[in-house]
Amino acid sequence: MDKSQLMKGILEGCILKIIDQSETYGYEIVVKLQENGFQDVKEGTLYPLLLRLEKKKLILASYKPSPLGPSRKYYSLTRDGREYLDSFYVNWQETCLSVKRIFKEDKV
């Protein structure tokens, strides 16, 4: 099964949730995703998603000084991003429930 399409939508929601928790930068997002079970996510996967979220005006990016060299690009959620995140979570819960129902029938 090709997980990439499924994962793209899920990752968008998870990225928005991480950014919602606190303003953050790309590498930190990758680390949090990996710590929570998304081991396959690398920076090369993340940055195109961040760019897409930025183009959709769901996140804002701003450069801030870094203690370890050049400025970092930090991301924060917009109002539209918060609404999208809320909607994502409701849809995610409904989808999980539907899948669980179908697979439970398989066990009977």
pLDDT, residue 5, reads 74
Mean of per-residue pLDDT scores for the chain: 92
Identify the pLDDT of residue 4.
72
- Spatial distance between the Cα atoms of 69 and 66, rounded to a whole number of angstroms: 6
On whether the 4-107 domain is CATH 1.10.10.10, my answer is yes
Span 60-65, average pLDDT: 95
Percentage of residues in the chain with pLDDT exceeding 90?
78
Give the domain ranges of the chain: 4-107
CA distance 71 to 50: 17
